[in-house]
Amino acid sequence: MKRSVFALGILGLAYAVLLPGASAQTVLYQDHFDTDAFLKASTTYVQGVGDSIRGDDTLRPFYIRNGKLTSNTEDGDGSGSDGTGANHLDADPAPVPYQLLFGDKSWADVSIQARVYSDGGNTGSFALILRAAPKTKPEDPDTWYQFQYTTTSGGPGAVTPTDECLQIDEKNSGIEAPDYSPNLRILKAVKNKYTLLAETDFDKSKVHIPEINTVGYDHDTNHDGTGTPTGAIFRFVAKGNVLQVFCSLDGVTFNKYLEVTDNELTAGVVGLSNCEYPPVFDDLLVTTAP
């Protein structure tokens, strides 16, 4: 069976904007996914092989559906989780983690944010990526900083660790599944070796962590006029050696959840990834760091 791995591309832009909770910044890339130009552009790297792709190699790892970006699902209509199969190590063909990388390898002090909610799943994770080494094929090692959001089927506060929420190389690096969910982490990958730099979760955080999985409070209560979940806006910032994670439910008030310093990675492209359930991404925005 042919492996569905793709290296595609993106068009850039730059202008000044005043973001909520931040000073004026330069927009490096912005997309509301009104078209599939993001996935067709020549500088976007796309990879992913999971359960549904193994059964139908005409499927693609990521799609634009109804003005939003999501990874593929079992039936291809965005209504349920593929499980992505990224950790099924004995599968044929072998699993390939779901990743999108794009931008300029010289980007250093950068912020990436997106509005996100889970589509048809509760156990899984998604990530926002900064200062990544570019890739041209899955065998190229992961080197980057990532903010990772994880939930499990047990719901808020659940003590139900599961390796399904972790990518292959995270598990191989000794990273353990979260004890409580929702869980927020900052991780560093250097040539596929992952290090946990900072973490908080439902049990530790003094500020409510948005519950955007399908049984989460905010997934069920925050909707637009059509009943579609609005999710939450997650922001990951790298400035100098400082990494920060923010989140907002209303797009106005951003709470800071994590901050850590690390000196190893200084510049790179940006990206998105997911494991197990398919997140829905919208309002993607990459700017210079505030």
The residues spanned by each domain of the chain are: 6-288
Q: What is the mean pLDDT of the chain?
A: 85
pLDDT (tens digit per residue) in 227-250:
889 999 999 999 999 999 999 999
Lowest mean pLDDT among 10-14, 66-70, 119-123, 187-191: 10-14
Overall residue count recorded for the chain in this entry: 290
Residue 22 has pLDDT above 80, yes or no: no
pTM for this prediction? 0.89
Q: Are the beta carbons of 271 and 129 closer than 8 angstroms?
A: yes
Structure confidence at residue 224 (pLDDT): 84
User: 112: closest CA among 30, 180, 16, 194?
Assistant: 30
The answer, yes or no, to whether residue 281 has pLDDT greater than 50, is: yes
Q: Is the pLDDT of residue 197 over 60?
A: yes
For residue 88, the model assigns a pLDDT of 67
Lowest mean pLDDT among 101-105, 161-165, 218-222, 224-228: 161-165
* pLDDT attached to residue 13: 45
Averaged pLDDT, 127-152: 96
Residues forming beta bridges with residue 99, ordered by sequence position: 47, 273
pLDDT of residue 226: 83
Burial group, residue 140, by CB count within 10 angstroms (0-12, 13-18, 19+)? middle
pLDDT of residue 3: 42
Average pLDDT over residues 174-195: 95
Using pLDDT thresholds of 50, 70 and 90, give the confidence band for residue 153.
confident
pLDDT for 81: 39
Q: Quick one: which of 62, 47, 131 has its CA closest to 94?
A: 47
> 133 Cβ partners below 8 Å, 6+ apart?
105, 140, 141, 142, 143, 144, 268, 269
Indicate if the pLDDT at residue 23 is higher than 90. Answer: no
Residue 214 in this model has a pLDDT that exceeds 90: no
**Structure confidence at residue 114 (pLDDT):** 98
CA atoms within 13 A on the CB side of 168: 21
Q: Can you give the pLDDT at residue 157?
A: 61
Classify domain 6-288 at the CATH topology level: Jelly Rolls (2.60.120)
pLDDT above 90 (res 33): yes
The proportion of the chain whose per-residue pLDDT surpasses 90, expressed as a percent, equals: 60
Contacts of 161 (CB under 8 A, 6+ apart): 152, 176, 177, 178, 179
Q: What is the pLDDT of residue 155?
A: 61
Q: Residue 211 above 90 pLDDT?
A: yes
